[in-house]
């Protein structure tokens, strides 16, 4: 399985831990938002990259996690950690339902089913009396984490978000590199053969839908805590399109490639915000350039280049050995 080199991951982790100490260089709330989309994109890639299932309705799980967490914390006063867990569980249950319905078809028909069901979820949150409709669910209290850590402090919240996202990414990595992950790739490569080998393919698809939806829901829950807001945009189909863009840009054949894609798209949206509607045009141009230049995504192409270099190095060493001539 192609993934980022461990050295780069370690450097990235050190950089993340150091962010609160350099507020003049980077805004910690922006990094937290990016981390939410990192988890969202990597969770989505469990379906697209590792199982070969295109879901065009993943915003339903992301937004459901945000609304459920916001409602439970604001209205019922439950602890923040339980609210985040509940958001992930409800999103996972929704993912089980959507997956069970969607896998009856394949390809573009499956994608359209997920889009249609996602729009149903969107209209539910638009019409439900507790969501605030177009104004969203506002003033969600951050509360405390485990009754000890005051999440009203941005630095404390930052490290909690890093810890939760890191745990989610570890779970994704562990899933991809487990026997379960090998079966998912077998389904992606040749589903009829996986069926002939006796694997319950439908059950595996529903399970990966559930896992992906649950992690997406946790990402949405974290975003609701960070901004103290659950908005309709979180469940809109545009958000589903954004996560597909992030995954393709980073590299869907990798474990953490979508994380790089999420960071790139979030950075473009953040730093090019003064350009207004031109942000969409610029992002589209960047995406087209990367797709034409990096067919396997940014991380996928870099990984391939590193492998090619490593494979050519031993040959070069063999060719460079001094030759001896026997008289």
Burial class (CB in 10 A: 0-12, 13-18, 19+), 237: middle
Instruction: Render 241-259 in DSSP notation, one character per residue.
Output: HHHHHHHHHH-TTBSSHHH
Look at residue 93 and tell me whether its pLDDT is greater than 70.
Answer: yes
pLDDT at 312: 67
Look at residue 254 and tell me whether its pLDDT is greater than 70.
Answer: yes
- pLDDT tens-digit profile of 257-304? 889 889 888 888 878 777 777 777 877 787 788 777 776 777 766 777
What's the pTM? 0.89
Cα separation, 82 vs 59, in Å, equals 22
Percent of the chain with pLDDT over 90: 54
| 4-13, 61-70, 136-145, 183-192: least confident range | 4-13
pLDDT at 17: 86
* Contact residues for 134 (Cβ-Cβ < 8 A; gap 6+): 126, 232
What is the set of domains in the chain, with CATH numbers? 28-311 (1.10.3470)
pLDDT at 313: 60
Closest by CA position to 42, among listed 287, 290, 247, 299: 247
Mean pLDDT of 163-168: 94
Cα separation, 115 vs 244, in Å, equals 13
pLDDT band at 2 (very low <50, low <70, confident <90, very high): very low
Helix (H) or strand (E) holding 145: strand 144-145
Mean residue pLDDT of the chain comes to 86
Closest by CA position to 63, among listed 117, 143, 139: 117
Look at residue 110 and tell me whether its pLDDT is greater than 90.
Answer: yes
Burial class (CB in 10 A: 0-12, 13-18, 19+), 254: buried
pLDDT at 147: 84
Cα separation, 59 vs 55, in Å, equals 10
- Looking at residue 309, what DSSP letter applies? H
- pLDDT tens-digit profile of 25-68? 888 899 999 999 999 999 999 999 899 999 999 999 999 999 99
How many H helices and E strands in the chain?
13, 4
Burial class (CB in 10 A: 0-12, 13-18, 19+), 284: exposed
pLDDT at 1: 42
- Looking at residue 323, what DSSP letter applies? P
* C-alpha distance from residue 298 to each of 37, 40, 44 (Å): 17, 18, 17
pLDDT at 327: 43
């Amino acid at each position: 399985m192609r993934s980022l080199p461990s050295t780069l991951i370690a450097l990235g982790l050190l950089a993340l831990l150091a962010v609160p100490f350099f507020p003049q260089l980077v805004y910690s709330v922006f990094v937290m938002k990016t981390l939410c989309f990192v988890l969202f994109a990597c969770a989505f890639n469990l379906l697209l990259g590792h199982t070969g299932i295109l879901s065009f309705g993943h915003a339903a799980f992301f937004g459901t996690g945000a609304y459920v967490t916001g409602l439970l914390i604001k209205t019922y006063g439950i602890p923040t950690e339980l609210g985040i867990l509940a958001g992930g569980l409800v999103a996972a249950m929704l993912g089980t339902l959507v997956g069970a319905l969607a896998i009856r078809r394949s390809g573009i028909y499956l994608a359209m089913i997920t889009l249609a069901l996602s729009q149903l979820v969107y209209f539910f949150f638009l019409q439900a009396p507790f969501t605030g409709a177009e104004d969203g669910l506002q003033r969600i209290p951050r509360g405390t984490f485990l009754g000890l850590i005051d999440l009203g402090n941005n630095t404390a919240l930052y490290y909690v978000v890093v810890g939760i996202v890191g745990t989610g990414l570890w779970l994704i990595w562990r899933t991809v590199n487990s026997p379960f992950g090998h079966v998912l790739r077998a389904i992606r490569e040749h589903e009829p053969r996986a069926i002939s080998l006796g694997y319950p393919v439908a059950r595996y698809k529903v399970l990966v839908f559930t896992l992906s939806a649950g992690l997406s829901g946790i990402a949405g829950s974290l975003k609701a805590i960070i901004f103290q807001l659950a908005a309709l945009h979180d469940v809109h189909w545009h958000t589903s399109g954004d996560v597909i863009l992030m995954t393709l840009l980073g590299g869907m054949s990798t474990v953490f490639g979508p994380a790089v894609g999420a960071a790139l798209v979030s950075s473009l949206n953040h730093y090019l915000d003064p350009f207004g509607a031109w942000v969409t045009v610029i992002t589209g141009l960047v995406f087209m350039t990367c797709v034409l230049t990096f067919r396997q995504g940014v991380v996928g192409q870099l990984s391939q280049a590193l492998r090619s270099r490593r494979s050519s190095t031993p040959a070069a060493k063999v060719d460079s050995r001094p030759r001896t001539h026997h008289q």
